Amino acid sequence: MCVSDDLRRHADAIYKRIFEHPFVIGIGDGTLEVSKFRYYIEQDYLYLIEYSRVLALAIARANDISTMSWFASLLNETLNTEMELHRSYAELFSISRKSLESVRPSPTTQSYTNFLLTTAYSNGLPGITAALVPCQLGYSEIGQILAKRGIPKEQPLYSQWIEMYTSQEFTRLANQLKLLVDTVAEGLGPRELAKMEEIFLTSARYEYLFWDAAWRLEKWLV
């Protein structure tokens, strides 16, 4: 079994909690309150900004030009295409571009992105890829699960979200990142592999918390 599959297997209980979360189920059957999805869109935009910083650090940490190029392409796609699509999608939920730029990160968003950045600063490429891949794997699997259950045609904006994460492009991205995890893990000893697993599991837990924060409309208590 390759390292990426082994990591995913060890996080199976976490992913099951994600797939069964009422927020995720609500997207799939169209019953999710729009206010909660709006909150998610706003926080996800902030996540993408910090995610881009992690990709920039991954470029610097890469050991070969091919890997540098791959992360550079992903960074360019995220900053100049995906974030613009995110802004346009947000407008469909009456979230203006100006208001999107003024959103404050929730406690969970700030904690999750700080974890990603700290990992990127203090680890090599094995740690960085282990931190990034749980998000791509989760979204790809969520999209596939919800699509199999049936697209909520009465909620076309949720249907659009599901279709985005079941697209060939996104599936290819998730698979490429999995392959990169396996590549950078080659030759690592037990200690380094255990560190990758620790990072992977922490990111997976944050993925769950991110969905849960949107469900609860999490706010700062003070």
Contacts of residue 220, defined as CB under 8 A and 6 or more positions apart, other chains included, come to 104, 106, 107
Helices of type H across 62-167: 65-77, 83-91, 97-101, 107-122, 125-149, 156-165
Show the tokens assigned to 217.
Answer: 């409309």
135 is catalytic: yes
Contacts of 184 (CB under 8 A, 6+ apart): 124, 125, 126, 129
Residue 2 bears catalytic tag: no
CB-facing half-sphere around the CA of 20: CA atoms within 13 A: 6
Catalytic residue among 20, 82, 135, 169: 135
CA 159 to chain centroid = 19
Catalytic residue, from 20, 77, 91, 207: name it: 207
Between vectors from CA 170 to CA 168 and to CA 176, what angle results, nearest 5°? 100
**Catalytic residue numbers, as ranges:** 135, 207
